[in-house]
Amino acid sequence: MRVSSHSPKAQTEDDAGLVLAAQKDPASFEALYNRWVIPVYQYFYHRTRETSRAEDLTSQLFLSVYQALPRYQHRGRFAAWLFTIARNIYRTYYRKDQRETPLEAGLHLHTAEDSAGRDHEADEIERLIRLIQTLPEEEQELIRLRYVADLSFADMATILNKREDAVKKALYRLQARLQRMMEEIHG
């Protein structure tokens, strides 16, 4: 999970400036690309578990964004617009290839703890992965958008066509439910 040093408002303002610059001068698109390429790639990688496929989908996305950018009107939700396109590109890919790797297959954790600590942590992560795999796709998508793509609740709400408070509540309830389930596993 990436912790952002900018507030959501600052990120929105940054995005607005980057979009405006890219609309005025296509050579400025590189800054917008650099701002979003890692979250987009991570999103696709967690969906496909294939480096080359994630790279292809990321390229497709940025080509689509580049082509559509002149018509884009910034209303404070560039991330939502971007990830709506990403979801649509992924859906097209999935329908075409009929394959998906679960979100959980891509979880990696690197710690400096001792071996026993790492083993215990790895066991805990494996249990959590198994629980997440049992979730409906809609709940897995909440996890992807929040913790893989690192989107704000407002952007998630726009993408999912729901109210921000409903998205926030759904994710918090999901987290609480997963925590209870993990505690039940431990007896």
Question: pLDDT, tens digit, for every residue of 112-170?
Answer: 445 555 666 777 878 887 888 889 989 999 998 998 888 999 999 999 999 999 999 99
d(CA 88, CA 86): 5
Residue of 178 and 110 predicted with greater confidence: 178
Report how far apart, in Å, the C-alpha atoms of 37 and of each of 58, 65, 82 are. Answer: 7, 12, 11
Q: Is 0.75 surpassed by the pTM of this model? A: no
pLDDT tens digits, one per residue of 70-117: 999 877 789 999 999 999 999 888 777 655 455 544 444 444 445 555
Q: Give the total residue count for the chain.
A: 187
Which domains does the chain show, CATH number per domain? Answer: 8-185 (1.10.1740.10)
